Amino acid sequence: MDHLPLPQNATLGTLDIPYLCTEDYDGEDFETFPARKHWTIERRFTVIVFACRERLVTEHSEVGSFLQTWLYFGLLNQFLEKPVDVKLFQREAGGGKVLFTSKRLGDIISAWTVQTMEQDWSMYENNLRTWKDRLYGYLLTARDIVLRVVHSLDGQPENILSCVCLSIAVLGEYLNYALKDMFIKRGLESPVMQNWQSVDWADCGGPIVTIMQRNGWCPNKLAYFDAEDLKSIGKLWYSANMKPPNAEKSHARCSEEQCQLLQVDLREYRTCHTREGCECASRGPEPGLLASAIQNDLVPLVTIAERAGVKVSLQIADENTEYVAISHVWADGMGNLKENTLTECSLRQLRFYVDALAGFDAQSNLPLWIDTLCLPRNPIELRRRGIIAFNEVFRKAQHVLVLDSYLQKLSSKSMSPIELLARVAVCGWTQRLWTFSEGRLGRSVYFQFEDRAVDLFQAVDQWRETFFRIPSLPSHGVDLAVIGNFSATRILPGPEFDCRLLELPTLRFALGTRSTSWPTDEAICLAGILGLNMRQVIEADDAQKMNVVWSLLQNLPTGLAFSRAPRKLVDKGYRWAPSSLLGDLKVQRWGGPGPLFARLNATPSEAGLIVQLPGALFKARLSTDSGAGRTKLKLFECCLPQFAADRGHLSLQGGSGQWYSCNIISNWHQESADVDIANEVPAIILESPIEMDRSSARDDFRSIDTLRGLLVTYFHSEEGEEIIHAKAHSHVELQTLSNKVQKFHDKVKICCEEILSHNMDTIAALQDDQDTLKRKIASWVEEYAREDDLLELGKEIWRHEMWDDSDGKLINHIVWSVGYLCSVDEWYVIEEGSRPITWCVD
């Protein structure tokens, strides 16, 4: 970690990682190093098992020694194409203890990139792709091993093996960026950046997060780091070395959803003074004049003057008025829940900041807008009228000045542009909902530090001129991650940055960790950010405000149909819509599958969300058999939340004979939809078409092609119409089964057909005695399974999966499978359509 950049006054500086190597890397082929050293690595699903000379190795220090030699020094050897002096990576820690250090890594990699770039690339351009792919393949191998180890160490983030894995991940990031830098510099296709922090599986940054928790970081801000789109362990380490906001206060009541220290308590809120012990009076504009301005749809500003005390005067803005709009966090004490006043000391401070920002002398008295003084608290109708003009206030301001207590205590004098960004990214101002729109609307946004106000756009613009360079420095990855994840204000030139933020996927990430003390403000704020009709939203009932926002949007992500947001709107026609863009950070696929969340071609309607997606239709819907309704109910009982709380999976067979496992993952909505059993039929809406013949891609035991889908019902009478209105019930995953399991299901089907053909009279006679019928079916199945090779085939599959393959358990499974096919009759057969269907999902 020692090679990574640090902010001023770093709180950690270094991390003690043990040096465990007992031998040097041998310089031979990377992939076969374990075999040369008599190690075997067995991957079992997400688990990894190590053995050396057929001896199971569980001692963390022994595994760590092996991984450090292979995946750290071996990677370096393969990239540099020469041995590495391991003594450069050792530091004495006293008492004979040797720790690992990467202090010289930056020099080593920088020199390598310079040397590589100085070569005549055209001489071997045809070999560049092979060279790049080979090195990138080594990174993929290292990442796979490390993530599996970290996953197995879940709950032990400070274990020595976790620390070794962290150091390998940081090296992998740096090498990945170095490759990328060189190929970009040459104008060639660069390798994709690998993510070493898989939040839903294994996070190599665990040791750093543990330290941050201990050092007083709020769970809400840690959740922000978890949710970042462009992940970087280097950037996480950089942030960990900054003193967190409100570190002196307890975050015991905070959650990933919100920081309680930033919430406004209506009963206890007090307008603050700029220093303790001050008891100066409060001043504000004349209430009648303020109300009159709002009623006449004018923008009120205030000027602050010293005339035998502090005087606040109202001024009406016109098209030529230059003014500063103040954006602040109410939890810092510059709000007022009772009246439009602030303390005299706060007013003096405001005037000082505004005049210094504008470069005016003390006599100039530039007007300003701040909600505490310029937006009436009551009556509510007047306040709503003032909020309608909110966007224009910040859009037309000459400058927006951000005030945050954390930043105001920091001197910016020696901070790099990246540190300025990183400090702003963790301050309380970036955790509030309203401040997001305030920061985005302003033409020129300044952040007030202790010594001056800083324009981040200008700071980053100066940094950009020096960035695209070789050698590839350790700071490059950190810098890119800080900039890439920053969304509080516009920091890059060009309209693309603003346009992308107005797209729902980007906006969801930007708002995920923000919060508001008044939940109904979210819809109003979103309307302002997205340029919607704010009057319509403000005038709607509180319970309908988000409905109105969704109805005003067009070109929505198709992935919203698959959203797993735990809280969705409840009104008919809006059940597909998440009730909030805030929070739920641990919910994977809040906006559905990634590719579909990025596909902006869904349309809201009064009946639901209109999407074009392929679907799997059930063949039995075409049946005229009088028993089809009874067997359809059996299928519903297996899979719909209205009928069965404990749902597992469906076995389905396609028209081509291919078998699928349809796993029921979770409810689509917190409130189940009603089902007209007689007239509705089931279907599965899929994220992409099923590939019909994948037999060549399957192996004996590995299932392939997991597709996400929705289990829905619709009125069969609508088939053939332009739009099919579908009621969504469950999230499902449809998986094409392996060759062995395909064969197993074929045999189960034959078993079912045999039993039905030979025992119909007995089955009919025992319909009123289900217990006896089940025992009979079990005996028939066991007899058939033993005579055929069905039981042996099942044992072979279960042994491979390391399940209990005892006869009793396997027979019970076969009995269940046969019983399922018997009960649902033809309702297990689907038609795998490849053409998209227009669905209206709700």
Kindly state the tokens that stand for 53: 């000379």
**DSSP character for 578?**
B
Whole-number Å distance between alpha carbons of 47 and 55: 18
Helix (H) or strand (E) holding 169: helix 160-185
Say what the pLDDT of residue 499 is.
56
DSSP secondary structure, 628-641, as one string: HHHHHHHHHHHH-T
**Alpha carbons 251 and 213: distance in angstroms, whole number:** 10
- CB crowding 534-557: b at 16 or more within 10 Å, else e: beebbebeeebbbbbbbbbbeebb
Report whether 368 contacts 322 (CB < 8 A): no
The distance in angstroms from the start CA to the end CA of the chain is 50
**Which residues, other chains included, contact 381 with Cβ-Cβ below 8 Å and sequence gap of 6+?**
none
Token pair belonging to 473: 């420095």
Instruction: Report the pLDDT value the prediction gives residue 411, as an integer from 0 to 100.
Output: 94
Euclidean distance between CA atoms 753 and 801, whole angstroms: 28
Which residue in this structure is represented by tokens 């709180």? 11
Q: Which of 642, 690, 634, 643 is nearest to 662 (CA)?
A: 690
Which pair of structure tokens corresponds to residue 718?
């609508």
DSSP 67: H
Cβ-based neighbours of 123, under 8 Å, separated by 6 or more: none
Residue 244: closest CA among 265, 232, 257, 261? 261
Pairwise CA distance, residues 593 & 35, whole Å = 39
Amino acid at 165: C
Q: How many other CB atoms sit within 10 Å of the CB of residue 339?
A: 15
Single-letter amino acid code for the residue at 481:
A
Q: What's the token pair of residue 511?
A: 């708002």
Question: According to the 3-state scheme, what is the secondary structure of 465-533?
Answer: HHHCCCCCCCHHHHHHHHHHCCCCCCCCCCCHHHHHHCCHHHHHHHHCCCECCCCCHHHHHHHHHHCCC
Q: Mean pLDDT of all residues in the chain? A: 86
Rounded to an integer, what distance in angstroms lies between the CA atom of residue 308 and that of residue 159? Answer: 65
Paired residues of 99 in beta bridges = 18, 91
Counting Cα atoms < 13 Å in the Cβ hemisphere of 491 gives 26
Report the C-alpha gap between 615 and 633 in whole angstroms.
21
Contact assessment for residue 88 and residue 456, using Cβ atoms and an 8 Å cutoff? no
Cα 237 → chain centroid: 20
Residues 6+ apart with CB under 8 A from 460: 417, 421, 483, 491, 492
Report which of 670, 668, 679 is spatially closest to residue 639, judged by C-alpha positions.
668
Neighbours of 197 (CB within 10 A): 23
Residue 755 corresponds to which amino acid? I
Burial of residue 328 (CB within 10 Å: 0-12, 13-18, 19+) is: buried
pTM listed for this prediction: 0.83
Per-residue pLDDT at 495 = 57
pLDDT on residue 833:
78
Burial of 136 (0-12, 13-18, 19+ CB in 10 A): middle
Asked if residue 362 lies in contact with residue 355, where contact means CB atoms within 8 angstroms, the answer is: yes
For residue 243, what pLDDT is reported? 93
Please enumerate in sequence order all residues whose Cβ is within 8 A of that of 645, keeping only pairs 6 or more positions apart, or say none. none
Nearest residue to 149 via CA among 267, 293, 245, 50: 50
Distances in Å between the Cα of 156 and the Cα atoms of 68, 202, 277, 621 are 19, 12, 47, 52
Please give the helix or strand (H or E) that residue 588 lies within, else none: none
Asked if residues 615 and 792 have their Cβ atoms less than 8 Å apart, the reply is: no
Nearest to 48 by CA among 189, 118, 184, 153: 153
**Given this model, what pLDDT does residue 696 score?**
47
Regions of the chain with pLDDT less than 70: 45-46, 120-126, 155, 199-200, 229, 360-364, 465-470, 492-502, 585-588, 624, 626-628, 642, 644-647, 692-699, 701-704, 801-802
3-state secondary structure of 838: strand
Instruction: Please name the residues in contact with 252: beta carbons below 8 A apart, sequence gap of 6 or more.
Output: none
**Domain residue ranges in the chain:** 17-196, 282-472, 614-842
Q: What is the helix (H) or strand (E) element at residue 190, kind and residue range?
A: none
Q: Where are the alpha helices (DSSP H) in 376-471?
A: 380-388, 390-396, 417-426, 433-441, 456-467
Give 275's contacts (C-beta < 8 A, 6+ positions apart). Answer: 345
Quick one: how far is CA 576 from the chain centroid?
19
- Asked if 304 and 365 touch (Cβ cutoff 8 Å), the reply is yes
Quote the pLDDT of residue 378.
Answer: 87
Nearest to 61, CA basis, from 111, 13, 19, 114? 19
Tracing tokens 């008295």 back to the chain, one arrives at: 365
CA 203 – CA 205 distance, rounded (Å): 5
3-state class percentages of the chain: helix first, strand second, coil last, to nearest 5: 45, 15, 40
pLDDT digits (tens, 9 = 90+) for 572-584: 999 999 998 887 7
Which DSSP string do the residues of 331-381 spell out, in sequence order?
A: GGTT--SSSS-EEHHHHHHHHHHHHHHHT--TTT---EE-HHHHS--SSHH
Tokens describing residue 331:
């939890």
CA distance 725 to 715: 8
CA 326 distance to own-chain centroid: 31
Ramachandran bin of 55, using left for φ above 0, alpha for ψ from -120 to 50, beta for the remaining angles:
beta
C-alpha 174 chain-centroid distance: 23
**SS3 call for 44:** strand
Question: Distances in Å between the alpha carbon of 214 and those of 5, 210, 485?
Answer: 22, 6, 24
| Share above pLDDT 70 across residues of the chain, in percent, rounded to a whole number | 92
Are 463 and 417 within 8 A, CB to CB?
A: yes
Residue with tokens 């309680």: 260
**How many beta carbons lie within 10 A of that of residue 746, not counting itself?**
15
Phi, psi at residue 270, to the nearest 5°? -130, 135
